[in-house]
Amino acid sequence: IQRYAIEHSRLHIPIIFGVDAVHGLGHPFEATLFPQSIGMGATWDVALAEAAGRATRQQLLATGGNWNFAPVQDIARDNRWGRYYETWAEAPALAAAIGAANVRGIQGGGFDSPKVAATVKHFAGYSQSINGHDRVEAQLPIRYLQDIFLPSYAGGIDAGAATVMVNSGSVNGIPAHASRFLLTEELRHRLGFKGVVISDYGDVPALASAYHIAADLTGAVAQAVNAGIDVSMTPSDSAGWNSALLQAVRQGLVTERRIDESVRRILTLKFQLGLFDHP
């Protein structure tokens, strides 16, 4: 895949290959699995969480992966929620500490070589939906959001996490993927995050198809990019994304300067991961 991408692209830029390895790399036969995050958090053992991150990193690199969509830094708030077991703890300080250690393990304590990027997810407030269902709305007073939820995400970000993934639901009536308040004011300005923000699975088109806050894909892409999305996880229509983004620029909905910001962040990440030296 990497060889094809480099040989068949205009500027020969390598791809970055991401995978979910939340409690070890569960995809290959006989790879190591660790306890689900809620079990790991129950140990209160930050050294163990870091060691699990290191082992996951080694096995990712052995299979060609260099971007791990983990750790989940959402807070355990409602055990009806189907992803409750993917959280570390109900205590923000504990979740922050365990997640920070796991990030250090996944990334090798920093950008040494060879390299893997960690992902803090799902920003922000994903785990306290109104009814325990997944990908639905949350009603969270801002003080509560900032005091209870943000410290856990900040733990992973302060440990150097290279990327952040966005909440698939909405917060106080605004889909997180269209929330400049969450993705720019809180994430970048308040928490100081400098890296790459990626959408969750298919969530940018959902701004038009599920949330109906955009008339079409072009409008959805414009809202997401202007809110702060750098990369769209678009599972089935990358050509449609590209076309919609170009259309949004032509219509003046997204500036070229805004595109340049995301391109700079993505290229920086690829250089930090060593992909231009060892694709």
* Residues that are catalytic: 200
Is the alpha carbon torsion for 36, 37, 42, 45 positive or negative? positive
Strand partners, 137: 170
Interatomic CA distance for residues 145 and 148, integer angstroms = 6
Q: What are phi and psi of 275, to 5 degrees?
A: -70, -25
Interatomic CA distance for residues 108 and 106, integer angstroms = 6
Q: SS3 sequence, 198-217? A: ECCCCCCCHHHHCCCCCCCH
Cβ contacts of 10 within 8 Å, gap of 6 or more: none
| Among the listed residues 88, 90, 112, the one whose alpha carbon sits nearest the alpha carbon of residue 100 | 88
